Structure 1
Amino acid sequence: MLSRVALRSAIRQTTALVARGSATDVSGVRDEKNFPRPVRGEPGKVRLGFIPEEWFQFFHSKTGVTGPYMFGLGLTTYLCSKEIYVMEHEHYNGVSLFIMVWFFIKKFGPQISAWLDKEVDKVEANWNQSRVDTIKGLENAIAEEKKAQWRAEGQELLLDAKKENVLLQLEAAYRERLMHAYLEVKRRLDYQLEKAVIERRIAQKNLVNWVVTNVTAAITPDQEKQTLDRCIADLSALAARQ
């Protein structure tokens, strides 16, 4: 039976949580407006050292200001007159102890209260400091993660630059080999041209020598003498004209 009650209570709580929604939005940030952070509660106001103020407010709307006091006095009178509460020696010990405690509270209560408030504030500050440190650590981790992402992007740029450098090196090697092939072909063509020029020069020289040799061999001594005389006559005629 108790297990069924517990199960139903858990279902109701889960349904209520789903109906209210989550305390965080899609980005993971807490919704401070609809789900404010819990604040440390302060003790309520009391009268006579231990009676809550709400009790007096409850009686005030029905009996006025003196109602709570008259109710307490009447209840005490009723308990004592009917001997429901017997005044024996422990009663007087309790009264004396109550007077001592009341005097102690009046005398040292403010100092003790201030000291306890300071201790509570110190504990709360430690808790808040722990939360602030955690948030700061997470923010630093997020900053480091963003810096790591930025560095990773820089590595991608570096890889692109290296790829571009490799492509430039390949292009330079291709152009170097192309120039080497061009120079080799030009050198071979120049060799063939120079070879053809030399062969033509040698052939021309041989032909001239052959013609001169044949012509020289075909001239007789008489023809040579006639030619020499004719040349001398021509020179003499030219000298006379001068």
Structure 2
Amino acid sequence: MLSRVALRSVAGQQSVSTTLVARTSATSTEIVGVRDEKNFPRPVRGEPGKVRLGFIPEEWFQFFHSKTGVTGPYTFGVGLTTYLCSKEIYVMEHEYYTGLSIILMVYYATTRFGPKIAKWLDSEVDKVETDLNSDRVETLKFLEETIASEKDAQWRAQGQELLVQAKKENVLLQLEAAYRERLMNTYQEVKRRLDFQLEKTALERRFEQKHLVDWVVTNVSRAITPDQEKQTLDRCIADLAALAKK
């Protein structure tokens, strides 16, 4: 467990430096253009690998599996320890028992307090990572709000274009209405003048007819003598008397 804590601490420090470098490169890249997330993904904080017996990496056991099977790593460890002790390469002096007692205490402390310490260190690493990414998150949020504002401004600009187009159409309608009004005024004026000429012609014709009738009546009256008038009157009376008898 302590080895895992140490590995996580080292990984946290490496992730901090990597994040700073990535942020610097990202800042310089974003100044030029948009970051290529596909070809150049952002670095992710690495997690330490699995361990056995609290400190032995899993890769060491996987190395023996293809050659000795599952029990090979344990057999190798026990055999190596037996060989070192039997050949007195590793002498069991009084420091050995001190080390053995220390190992037992470390194992107890690891099993008892290791998970809590690991959890606390993980929370600290997450806190550091969150603090480092907070600026980036705020910048992304600000840029997203800016993009939204720009899209809203573009939408409003499109609305202004529609409004200007509507105003142009309104002006064209007003011009068309003025043209039609002037056209109607011209028509009415021409019709009034034509009606005046028609009435004038009809009046002149009536005056000519009346004058002609009066002239004919006057001349006819002048041509009739008193004797002809008397004869005509007598003839009319005779005709009326004849009609009365019938």
Aligned residue pair count: 184
Structure 2 partner of 1:126: 131
- Which of 145, 157, 162 is equivalent to 1:157? 162
- Which of 181, 186, 201 is equivalent to 2:186? 181
Gap change, CA 1:36 and 1:30, over 3 Å in 2: closer
Structure 1 partner of 2:201: 196
User: Match for 1:35: what amino acid?
Assistant: F
Cα offset for 1:181? 0.2
Q: For structure 1, which segment, 230-239 or 211-220, has the greater mean C-alpha deviation from structure 2 after superposition?
A: 211-220
Q: Say whether residues 1:230 and 2:230 are aligned partners.
A: no
Cα offset for 1:110? 7.0
- Which of 212, 217, 225 is equivalent to 1:212? 217
Distance 1:29 1:44 in 2: 29
Q: Please list the CA deviations of residues 72-128 of structure 1 after superposition, one character each: whole Å capped at 9, or x if unmatched.
A: xx9xxxxxxxxxxxxxxxxxxxxxxxxxxx9xx979887666544423321212323
Aligned partner of residue 37 in structure 1, secondary structure: coil
Distance 1:28 1:112 in 2: 38
User: Match for 2:177: what amino acid?
Assistant: A
Gap change, CA 1:44 and 1:193, over 3 Å in 2: closer
- Which of 149, 152, 176 is equivalent to 1:144? 149
Gap change, CA 1:28 and 1:159, over 3 Å in 2: farther
Superposed counterparts of 1:31-42, under 5 Å = 31=38, 34-40=39-45
Superposition RMSD on alpha carbons, in Å? 4.3
Structure 1 partner of 2:37: 30
Identity of aligned residues (%): 66
Distance 2:50 2:202 in 1: 127
Distance 1:213 1:35 in 2: 124
Gap change, CA 1:116 and 1:225, over 3 Å in 2: same
**Could you tell me the TM-score, scaled by structure 1's length?**
0.57
Q: Gapped runs of 5+ residues in structure 2?
A: 1-24, 61-75, 90-105
Q: Please list the CA deviations of residues 126-177 of structure 1 after superposition, one character each: whole Å capped at 9, or x if unmatched.
A: 3234323322322222222222222222222222222222222211211111
Gap change, CA 1:199 and 1:235, over 3 Å in 2: same
Q: Please list the CA deviations of residues 186-241 of structure 1 after superposition, one character each: whole Å capped at 9, or x if unmatched.
A: 0001001101111111121122112212222222221111111111111112222x
Distance 1:29 1:155 in 2: 36
Q: Gapped runs of 5+ residues in structure 1?
A: 1-16, 57-63, 75-101
